[in-house]
Amino acid sequence: MSRLQEHTTPDLPPPQAQQPARRATRASLVAIRCIAAALVVCGASGALAGDRQVSVSEQVDVAASPTHTWDAIKDFDGWQTWHPAFARTEITQGVGNAHGTVRVLTANDGARFTEELVTYNPTSRLVRYRIIDSPAPITEYVSTLQVKPHKDGSTVVWSSHFKVNEGTTDADAKKAIAGIYRMGLDHLAVVLN
């Protein structure tokens, strides 16, 4: 049985204060769509990945406390509330933040990512998940999103490792994944600072 989850992000600024974030988000969405389209039609140009594992890591410092930052991003069924590329989440197995919960995360452009929650640790402020099915030309994708204390607030680190399908270069895959991370992290920096 599936159900659609809708949540609101705690304590976000009023809509008029989010105008610069919206402009940056629109530009980022265009860039991400271009990168994603390039990955889908990417030919065998450049070095092909094969069976090598590729890693991506992006981070952002925000002025909000680790607790406040964690509250904004912690819900596995609510990432559409803080990441501007995502439109909705549907839980298809399990509940909320329980190990083994499966979600279908739908992007604004209609792309669907089926993902399973592997680890949820509120003490370490850490979420780890894996992609089960997606349109991205990658396999064995496992990602970690973690909030760490920082002297002036907190640092959010989003990292992953995966294999790239033949026909796509490591560099193209890394650029696409990093772009998605940057869009979400940069948006957090605007709304939480």
Question: Bigger pLDDT: 161 or 14?
Answer: 161
Of the candidates 22, 132, 6, the residue with the CA atom closest to the CA atom of residue 75: 6
**DSSP letter for each residue of 159-193:** EEEEEEPTTSBHHHHHHHHHHHHHHHHHHHHHHH-
Cα 4 to its chain centre, rounded Å, is: 19
Of the candidates 90, 73, 91, the residue with the CA atom closest to the CA atom of residue 81: 73
State whether the Cα torsion 47-170-105-27 is positive or negative.
negative
Chain segment 57-99, per-residue pLDDT in tens: 999 999 999 999 999 999 999 999 999 999 999 999 999 899 9
To the question of pTM greater than 0.75 for the whole model, the response is yes
Asked if pLDDT for residue 42 goes beyond 80, the answer is no
* Exposure on the CB side of residue 49, measured as CA atoms within 13 A: 23
E strand or H helix that includes residue 29: helix 19-41
Q: In whole angstroms, what is the distance from residue 162 CA to residue 150 CA?
A: 28
Q: In whole angstroms, what is the distance from residue 176 CA to residue 140 CA?
A: 16
E strand or H helix that includes residue 40: helix 19-41
Q: In whole angstroms, what is the distance from residue 138 CA to residue 173 CA?
A: 8
State whether the Cα torsion 46-132-90-79 is positive or negative.
negative
Chain segment 135-180, per-residue pLDDT in tens: 999 999 999 999 999 988 999 999 999 999 999 999 999 999 999 9
